[in-house]
Amino acid sequence: GTDASTMAVPPPAPALIALGDPLVDAVVRLGAAPLATVGIADADAGGSHPVSREAAHALLEAAEAAGAAVVETPGGSAANVARGVAALVRASAAGPGGGEDAPTPSVAFVGKVGNDARGEAYAAALSAAGVRPLLARAPETPTGVCTAVVDATGQRTMRPFLGAAAEMRAGDLASAAGGAMPPRSEGGQDRAGPLVLAIEGYQLWKEGLAEAACDAARRAGARVSLDLASWELVRVRRAPLRRLLLSRAVDVLLMNEDEAHALLEDEGESRGGSGGMDAATKRAVARDALAFAVEDCGVLVASCSLGADGALVRSRGCAEPQRVAAPRVDRVVDTTGAGDSYAAALLWALFLAGGTGAVELGTLGAGELATMTATAARAGCAAGAAAVGCVGAQLPNERWEEVARCAFPNHVAAKGAERGS
């Protein structure tokens, strides 16, 4: 037999696991040049749609030929969320109610990279950000690259080449993350598994993967968060998305106004985003989408971000959504990652910042859940506002500390005083 003293002790399961496409972000800044400079139609502005390796290469070549600035950094929506949550965990020093001896919640990311230098650098970047990399490897396909074209208004249009990420399957999920998502023992009260699995909507491009992830989360006793990611994705994958939602597999649903519109479109419609609507119509669509999520799909917390106007959120047991205002932003520099920052702060505030945890979230009274949801949305809006004032998808640590103070001012101030004494 094996000497027990030499056996490796597995690390504790992460409190939050993010599932998504590990992509290197290539951020292209067009300045005053139109999107047509890199072959993107104005009607496609703000969306995200996968492209081939050749198309991604051609886009970057066109950008360089036009003299646009191109900067590569590790990215991907779910990984951005994981890094944001890890930063907030550090900034809040175990969170309100945690106490000095409270274990620090851990964060992990699951995805598939190539067996290449970009894949190695990606794993190293996650580790450096306090996120445990749980990465499957593709032997021949390279690590993916997402080109984010930023126009003069700061809006970004995403054109990802998924590379190895496109090959992620349920078997890869089990092999890469199975140890971090152990099935909960029958009748057991101890939580060995994660509190929440955060799935980026782009996983719906891969047949059956999001469904398998939800099943694994349910077996592990974890809640599921789903970010709808892109109106283009919602429009194309509306049928499997609605099936997943109506199966009541999702506990937290995140969307923006364009995605809300696409979610509620009649089959066969393809009007694109919500850009042609007036503000009142957009708001009505957002309310209807939140009602669909909570009333028809059993979602605990649903959020529709409204950009500079903040967010509409609705929680189970509340007949009407709550409007949460966003902090004023004097100058929008770059919207890349703003939605990811919003999601990171909202999930942190819901699941990791306090003593409630995902097990109890569903048993809260309607008033308590509504209060918690509004607090989480305020944190999300603060993070999103901070993100649009910074270049790139990641906020500096001091900005995350400001977000933590915005959500829980008394607690974070007290923790800062303790550290300074």
Separation of alpha carbons 274 and 285, rounded Å: 9
- Which of 141-155, 256-270, 280-294, 375-389 tops mean pLDDT? 280-294
Percent with pLDDT over 90 in the chain: 49
Task: List Cα–Cα distances, 209 to 19, 75, 277, in angstroms.
Answer: 10, 21, 33
The pLDDT of residue 93 is 62
Residue 47's pLDDT band (cuts 50, 70, 90) = confident
The pLDDT of residue 337 is 74
The pLDDT of residue 275 is 57
Residue 4's pLDDT band (cuts 50, 70, 90) = very low
Residue pLDDT, tens place only, 212-228: 999 999 998 899 999 99
Domains of the chain by range and CATH?
A: 10-185+192-420 (3.40.1190.20)
Residue 342's pLDDT band (cuts 50, 70, 90) = very high
Q: Describe the crossing of helices 238-246 and 209-219 by its angle, rounded to 10 degrees.
A: 20
The pLDDT of residue 389 is 64
Q: In what order do the strands lie in the sheet with 107-114?
A: 131-138, 107-114, 16-19, 196-200, 223-227, 252-256, 301-305, 311-315, 322-324
The pLDDT of residue 89 is 87
Nearest to 194 by CA among 137, 279, 251, 263: 251
Say which DSSP state 183 is in.
P
| Residue given tokens 């009602």 in the structure block | 291
Residue pLDDT, tens place only, 160-200: 899 999 999 999 999 998 888 888 764 444 545 678 999 99
